[in-house]
A = this chain, B = another copy of it.
């Protein structure tokens, strides 16, 4: 059974976009690397919808990608409109995992999952994994309400 619409908007973000010319390649379709950018843009919109920025200026904390994967089901072409739907699939003490889907006219175009880690930026430029700050976790918490609690976590 699907959760009612009101509940859905709490944990799922949907963006409407149109393919830009510079996103296409000589095969006549969106270059696959740009799908990862579409998903990232929707991810950052999730943060903004929670009153946060994933990269406030002068913040000593960063959120690099740990992994990213995508399956490409159908191509997108110049000027086509499509939807990007992203949700938080898991939030652990130090990482956030997202899942996303791109659709067009009701058909699946791409599905993706990716994980980011909370890190502290050290003076020498290196990064060290740290716990997600409490204020960030509590702002994002409503977006994880659809995730079934697990004993293993």
Give A residues with C-beta under 8 Å from B. 20-22, 24-29, 31-34, 36-37, 40-41, 44, 48, 53-55, 57-58, 62, 64-72, 75, 77-79, 125, 127
A-B contact pairs, 16 of them (CB 8 A): A20-B41, A21-B31, A25-B26, A28-B57, A28-B125, A29-B64, A32-B36, A33-B36, A36-B36, A55-B78, A57-B77, A58-B125, A67-B69, A68-B70, A68-B72, A75-B127
Distance from A109 Cβ to chain B, minimum over Cβ atoms (Å): 12
Q: Which residue of B lies closest to A37 (CB)?
A: B22
Do B55 and A125 touch across chains, with their CB atoms under 8 A apart? no
Q: Which residue of B lies closest to A127 (CB)?
A: B75
Distance from A81 Cβ to chain B, minimum over Cβ atoms (Å): 11
Other-chain residue from B32, B40, B71, B78 in contact with A26 (beta carbon distance below 8 A): B78
Do B68 and A32 touch across chains, with their CB atoms under 8 A apart? yes
Distance from A111 Cβ to chain B, minimum over Cβ atoms (Å): 10
Do B66 and A71 touch across chains, with their CB atoms under 8 A apart? yes
Q: What chain B residues lie within 8 Å of A21 (beta carbons)?
A: 25-26, 31, 40-41, 44, 54-55
The 5 closest A-B pairs by CB, nearest first: A69-B69, A24-B26, A32-B65, A33-B36, A67-B71
Docked complex Cα distance between A29 and B32 (Å)? 17
Given contacts A34-B33, A55-B78, A125-B57, contact A27 B62 (CB under 8 A): yes
Q: What chain B residues lie within 8 Å of A29 (beta carbons)?
A: 26, 64
